[in-house]
Amino acid sequence: MALMNMAKSINLALFEAMERDEKVIVMGEDVGPDEGVFRITEGLFHKFGEKRVLDTPLAESGIVGTAIGMAMYGMKPVCEIQFSGFDYYSFHQLECHASRFRNRTRGRLSVPMVMRAPYGGGIRALEHHSESREAIYAHTPGLKVVIPSGPRNARALLHSAIQDPDPVIYYEPKAIYRLFKEEVPEKMETLPIGQSNIVKEGKDLTIISYGASLRAALEAVELLEEEDGVKAELIDLLTIAPLDATLIVESIKKTGRAVIVHEGPRTCGLGAEVVARVNEAAFLYLEAPIRRVTGFDTPIPYFSKERFYLPDAERVVAACRETLSF
Amino acid sequence: MTNYVKYPLKAIPISVQQSLKVVTAMPRKPIELPQIEYMSILDEDAVVDKALEPKIAEEELKNIYRYMLLARRTDERMLMMQRQGRLGTFPQSSGHEAISMGSCIHLKKSDWHVPAYRELAGLLYRGWSIDSTLLYWNGYEEGARPPEGVNDLPVCVPIASQLLHAAGIGMGMNLRGEKGVVMTYFGDGASSEGDTHEAMNFAAVYQAPVVFMCLNNQYAISVPLSKQMRNATLAQRAIAYGMPGIRVDGNDVLAVYVAAKEAVERARAGEGPTLIEGLTYRFTPHTTADDPKRYRSEEECNLWTKREPLNRFKKYLLNKGVYTEAQLTDLEEELDAEIKAAIARTEAAAVSEELSNPLAMFDYLYADMPPYLNEQREELKSHLDKQKAKAGKSPQHASGTAR
């Protein structure tokens, strides 16, 4: 076991994956000698050299498009897009190609690649550096989307993503890169894609979240217990596409009430999908409408006001109380 | 193809020419391509090439220097503020003043100025306040609102995307039969984006009156130009698009001035777009979050810092008698006071009710607020009101100032 933060554990996963499989290569802007703007590729260029760690020209579509080519050629590219706010340049390649090659070639070709990108707000970044648009990818058939919430699951999920036979979007909540440390086992581990996790068991209410918002949800769970004596169950989605609602449905059958928390915009966000799944599978168990505590349907404001946009524990607690007293 | 050999200076051989000649199977003729010229007028020791020196009125020279200096001093002050936690992460503009001012000085107010994000000198010249720059990089949307009376777009962070808007504005001018010029800016890194190719091709196909100003500072964060492209110059791409292109010393405001003047005149005369590559150097980090020691040597940085544009232009103006040393000292003091006043104003404005109101995030998303968005606005308002009641004071003050 070693104590490390999430930036380090993602770096560790890249290092381990490159050591065990020479097909794995890392590519992106400034991932070489500069070791990435968040230092996630630290030490990789030094260890594996320029044939495995590619400092690319500044072109997101180029990075993802050529990664698709390499993946079909038999390699395992792990691309880094410097900030998720710039992955719209490459969205076309993902939507029209990465997500479709297996389907349109009737299984003859496939695109086993990973696109990593730091996403989300909370670090006082400049314009276009704080977006949370994971729902766009979750809405794209053929892509898998995973979002870690801490050092241990970040490393395990990245291994699963790299080993996956299909394209995986690996969104890194940058606000928690160095927020806290966690014990990470010596031995390499994976975490199945498509599996959510019960972070804390409870009986009165289910809170569903993922990524950096999980911190606000966790804080809310503690506040509710302290101030209201409420035992909330907290679920971390981890994979938002393909979404497996089994745990959520089981939990709501037990609690009858739920609140979903995410920082991306509300309309057509993950909250909407969760509500629909619960309606389909557990409608008669609901004691109250499911509440969504999310970013608003505006671009995330520049950083002087981002804290009003991002869900915090106070907003989560307020929504939980309304749900509980319905 | 336009023959752009007006300045018979050092020509840069173009590799495509050579490769086109290596044809053996059939007797083919090599395609003659124009060469790319490199122009420099005022060298790093402030020695001026008299044959090429442009005739610029004294007032205009003073104006160019004033805004270059104002941008430099503002940038330096912003760096101090950022280090003190009074400003967010920002990309420094120091070293890029000559390309910015040498080009936008030729614009009329009705022309369009489409910046990337290192053209602070040009923004200030076009009428953007120092306040707006401070607000923008301190996380206030109000800093992106263009001033009245000029046609400017705000700074553009997503690399190269603004070039297409510039091309579109120029196409609009042509479609409406209106005379105007669009001056737009991008870096050497931006040249790799597909948007750059599309913008130049559109502008050329539609003969849009656009001047593409490339600030080639030789680094895209850590990636050097040699890893960004294999061609010897960026300017030579103009040949492929069918537009004139030239490389100039981007630290020499006179060379930029001359090349941009000709490009603007051509655009205004309906002769289409031009690509001007200004060779310069980012002697600062990429942004205040970057550490250049990781990817380049101090020797290289020192060498290029000596070539920066402001000092040589200052010497030129002193030699020419445009300014005396005493006048320059006065100018420094005047600009310093201007910057200090702007900082004081902005820091006071940042905590005002108007600028700190979080509900403003909903105000300008659409021309009319949709009902559902209004519900979300009310939701946030009610949350803030409850917070306010709980804290017994305004939520803005409860959570500190905007820094």
A108 assigned to some structural domain? yes
Chain B residue closest in CA terms to A305 = B358
Of B194, B361, B386, the CB nearest to A59: B194
> Which of the following is catalytic: A92, A128, A129, A159?
A129
Query: Are A166 and A231 contained in the same domain?
Result: no
Q: Residue B317: phi, psi to the nearest 5?
A: -70, -35
**Which residue, among B132, B106, B146, B92, has the nearest Cα to B284 in the 3D structure?**
B92
In a mutagenesis test of the A interface, which of B87, B117, B221 is the best target, namely the one with the most A β-carbons within 10 Å? B221
CA dihedral of residues A172, A173, A179, A180 (deg, nearest 10)? -60
Query: Are B356 and B344 contained in the same domain?
Result: no
Contact A201/B at CB under 8 A: no
Query: Are A133 and A8 contained in the same domain?
Result: yes
**Which residue, among A175, A137, A84, A130, has the nearest Cα to A299 in the 3D structure?**
A130
Query: Are B377 and B236 contained in the same domain?
Result: no
Mean pLDDT of B179-202: 98
* CA–CA distance, B145 with B133 (Å, rounded to integer): 10
Q: Which residue type, as a one-letter code, is found at position A137? A: Y
Q: pLDDT tens for residues B257-310?
A: 999 999 999 999 999 999 999 999 999 999 988 999 999 999 999 999 999 999
Contact map slice: A 88-127 vs B, CB within 8 A:
89, 124-127
Query: Are A39 and A176 contained in the same domain?
Result: yes
Is B391 a residue whose pLDDT tops 90?
Answer: no
Residues of chain B with pLDDT > 70: what percent? 91
Chain A residue closest in CA terms to B223 = A30
Mean pLDDT of B143-148: 97
Contact A33/B at CB under 8 A: yes
Residues 6 or more apart in contact with residue B104 via CB below 8 angstroms = B113, B119, B122, B125, B126, B183
Residues 6 or more apart in contact with residue A216 via CB below 8 angstroms = A209, A261, A310, A311, A312, A313, A315, A316
Q: State the Cα angle at B40 between B37 and B43, rounded to 5°.
A: 155
Query: Are B310 and B375 contained in the same domain?
Result: no
Q: How do strand A232-236 and strand A205-209 relate by DSSP bridges?
A: parallel
Query: Are A308 and A162 contained in the same domain?
Result: no
What range defines the domain where residue A14 resides?
2-184
* CA–CA distance, A46 with A34 (Å, rounded to integer): 11
Query: Could you tell me if B239 and B1 are in contact, meaning their C-beta atoms sit under 8 angstroms apart?
Result: yes
- Residue B294 bears catalytic tag: no
Residues 6 or more apart in contact with residue A150 via CB below 8 angstroms = A6, A176, A180, A182
A301 assigned to some structural domain? yes
Q: Cβ–Cβ of A304/B158 closer than 8 Å?
A: no
Q: Cβ–Cβ of B387/A314 closer than 8 Å?
A: yes
Query: Are B259 and B358 contained in the same domain?
Result: no
Six-digit token string for A61: 């579509």
Number of Cβ atoms within 10 Å of the Cβ of B238: 27
Contact A307/B at CB under 8 A: yes
Q: Cβ–Cβ of B360/A296 closer than 8 Å?
A: no
Is residue B220 classed as helix, strand or coil in its secondary structure? Answer: strand
- Spell out a b/e string for A39-69, using b for 16 or more CB atoms within 10 Å of the CB, else e: ebbbebbeebeeebbbbbbbbbbbbbbbbbe
Query: Are B123 and B168 contained in the same domain?
Result: yes
Contact map slice: A 66-85 vs B, CB within 8 A:
85
How many CA atoms does the CB half-sphere of B222 hold within 13 Å?
22
Q: Cβ–Cβ of A301/B361 closer than 8 Å?
A: yes
A118 assigned to some structural domain? yes
pLDDT recorded at residue B33: 75
Of A32, A89, A303, the CB nearest to B139: A303
The domain total for chain A is: 2
B159 assigned to some structural domain? yes
B191 assigned to some structural domain? yes
Q: Cβ–Cβ of A304/B350 closer than 8 Å?
A: yes
Query: Are B344 and B360 contained in the same domain?
Result: no
pLDDT recorded at residue B372: 97
More confident residue, B73 or B2: B73
Query: Could you tell me if B136 and B344 are in contact, meaning their C-beta atoms sit under 8 angstroms apart?
Result: no
Work out how many CB contacts closer than 8 A connect A with B.
125
Of A128, A297, A304, the CB nearest to B402: A304
Q: Cβ–Cβ of B89/A126 closer than 8 Å?
A: yes
Query: Which residues of chain B neighbour A29 with C-beta distances below 8 Å?
Result: 220-221, 223
Q: Is the dihedral of CA B374, B376, B379, B381 positive or negative?
A: negative
Contact A61/B at CB under 8 A: yes
What range defines the domain where residue B386 resides?
351-398
Residues 6 or more apart in contact with residue A190 via CB below 8 angstroms = A156, A157, A159, A160, A163
Mean pLDDT, chain B, integer = 92
Query: Are B137 and B161 contained in the same domain?
Result: yes
Query: Which DSSP state fits B238?
Result: H
pLDDT recorded at residue B5: 41
Residue-by-residue DSSP string for B175-191: HHT----EEEEEETGGG
Domain boundary among A184, A206, A237: A184
Query: Are A211 and A154 contained in the same domain?
Result: no
pLDDT recorded at residue B112: 98
CA distance A145 to chain B (A): 24
B24 assigned to some structural domain? no
B162 assigned to some structural domain? yes
Q: Cβ–Cβ of B358/A37 closer than 8 Å?
A: no
Q: How far apart are the first and last CA of chain A?
A: 45
Is A210 a residue whose pLDDT tops 80?
Answer: yes
Query: Are B272 and B393 contained in the same domain?
Result: no
B193 assigned to some structural domain? yes
Of A86, A304, A308, the CB nearest to B380: A308
Q: Cβ–Cβ of A296/B383 closer than 8 Å?
A: no
Q: State the Cα angle at B54 between B50 and B58, rounded to 5°.
A: 110
pLDDT recorded at residue A255: 98
Mean pLDDT of B127-147: 97
B5 assigned to some structural domain? no
In a mutagenesis test of the A interface, which of B82, B87, B89 is the best target, namely the one with the most A β-carbons within 10 Å? B89
- Residue B7 bears catalytic tag: no
Query: Could you tell me if A110 and A164 are in contact, meaning their C-beta atoms sit under 8 angstroms apart?
Result: no
Query: Are A230 and A134 contained in the same domain?
Result: no
Q: What is the CATH number of the domain that holds A57?
A: 3.40.50.970
Q: pLDDT tens for residues B117-134?
A: 999 999 999 999 999 999
Query: Are B263 and B369 contained in the same domain?
Result: no
Categorize the per-residue pLDDT at B397 as very low, low, confident or very high, splitting at 50, 70 and 90: very low
Of A34, A124, A314, the CB nearest to B294: A34
B184 assigned to some structural domain? yes
Query: Which residues of chain B neighbour A267 with C-beta distances below 8 Å?
Result: 372
Query: Are A34 and A130 contained in the same domain?
Result: yes
The domain total for chain B is: 2
Of A62, A86, A296, the CB nearest to B380: A296
Q: pLDDT tens for residues B75-93?
A: 999 999 999 999 999 999 9
Query: Are B239 and B374 contained in the same domain?
Result: no
- How far from B19 is each of A123, B13, B22, B32, CA to CA, in Å? 49, 12, 5, 12
* CA–CA distance, B277 with B39 (Å, rounded to integer): 10
* CA–CA distance, B133 with B140 (Å, rounded to integer): 10
Query: Which residues of chain B neighbour A127 with C-beta distances below 8 Å?
Result: 136, 144, 157
Of A124, A298, A303, the CB nearest to B362: A298
Q: What is the CATH number of the domain that holds B290?
A: 3.40.50.970
Query: Are B83 and B171 contained in the same domain?
Result: yes
Kindly report which listed range (A101-105, A155-159, A229-233, B26-30) carries the lowest average pLDDT score: B26-30
Q: Is the dihedral of CA A294, A296, A299, A301 positive or negative?
A: negative
**Which residue, among B165, B154, B155, has the nearest Cα to B202 in the 3D structure?**
B165
pLDDT recorded at residue A119: 98
Query: Which residues of chain A neighbour B133 with C-beta distances below 8 Å?
Result: none
Query: Are A233 and A98 contained in the same domain?
Result: no
Domain boundary among A133, A153, A184: A184
**Which residue, among A26, A123, A33, A53, has the nearest Cα to A84 in the 3D structure?**
A123
Q: Cβ–Cβ of A89/B193 closer than 8 Å?
A: yes
pLDDT recorded at residue A248: 98
Chain B residue closest in CA terms to A130 = B139
CA distance A100 to chain B (A): 22
pLDDT recorded at residue B393: 57
Phi-psi region of B88 (alpha: psi -120 to 50; beta: other; left: phi over 0): beta
Q: Cβ–Cβ of A57/B192 closer than 8 Å?
A: yes
Query: Are A60 and A107 contained in the same domain?
Result: yes
B333 assigned to some structural domain? yes
Query: Which residues of chain B neighbour A307 with C-beta distances below 8 Å?
Result: 399
Query: Are B57 and B195 contained in the same domain?
Result: yes
Six-digit token string for A97: 């190609």
Mean pLDDT of B101-109: 98
Six-digit token string for B204: 């050329």
Query: Which DSSP state fits B321?
Result: T
Q: Cβ–Cβ of A58/B193 closer than 8 Å?
A: yes
Q: Cβ–Cβ of B139/A89 closer than 8 Å?
A: no
A189 assigned to some structural domain? no
Of A37, A57, A304, the CB nearest to B140: A304
Q: Which residue type, as a one-letter code, is found at position A55? A: D
Query: Could you tell me if B222 and A34 are in contact, meaning their C-beta atoms sit under 8 angstroms apart?
Result: yes
Is residue B377 classed as helix, strand or coil in its secondary structure? Answer: helix
Q: Cβ–Cβ of B361/A298 closer than 8 Å?
A: yes
Q: Cβ–Cβ of A29/B221 closer than 8 Å?
A: yes
Radius of gyration (C-alpha) of chain B in whole angstroms: 23
Residues of chain B with pLDDT > 90: what percent? 86
* CA–CA distance, A126 with A83 (Å, rounded to integer): 11
Q: What is the CATH number of the domain that holds A225?
A: 3.40.50.920
**Which residue, among B147, B67, B60, has the nearest Cα to B339 in the 3D structure?**
B67
Domain boundary among A162, A184, A206: A184
CA distance A31 to chain B (A): 9
pLDDT recorded at residue A273: 98
Six-digit token string for A286: 């609901």
Per the listing, tokens 């950096």 go with: A212
Query: Are A316 and A237 contained in the same domain?
Result: yes
Q: pLDDT tens for residues A183-204?
A: 999 999 999 999 999 999 999 9
Instruction: Give chain A as a 3 state SS string.
Output: CEEECHHHHHHHHHHHHHHHCCCEEEEECCCCCCCCCCCCCCCHHHHHCCCCEEECCCCHHHHHHHHHHHHHCCCEEEEECCCHHHCHHHHHHHHHHHCCHHHHCCCCCCCCCEEEEEECCCCCCCCCCCCCCHHHHHCCCCCEEECCCCHHHHHHHHHHHHHCCCCEEEEEEHHHCCCCCEEECCCCCCCCCCCCEEEECCCCEEEEECCCHHHHHHHHHHHHHHHHCCCEEEEECCEEECCCCHHHHHHHHHHCCEEEEEEEECCCCHHHHHHHHHHHHHHHHCCCCCEEEEECCCCCCCHHHHHHHCCCHHHHHHHHHHHHCC
Per the listing, tokens 């946030």 go with: B380
Q: pLDDT tens for residues A15-70?
A: 999 999 999 999 999 999 999 999 999 999 999 999 999 999 999 999 999 999 99
Is residue B156 classed as helix, strand or coil in its secondary structure? Answer: coil
More confident residue, B4 or B352: B352
Number of Cβ atoms within 10 Å of the Cβ of B374: 12
Query: Could you tell me if A195 and A237 are in contact, meaning their C-beta atoms sit under 8 angstroms apart?
Result: no
Contact A250/B at CB under 8 A: no
pLDDT recorded at residue B14: 61
* CA–CA distance, A249 with A252 (Å, rounded to integer): 5
* CA–CA distance, B74 with B243 (Å, rounded to integer): 36
Query: Which residues of chain A neighbour B292 with C-beta distances below 8 Å?
Result: none
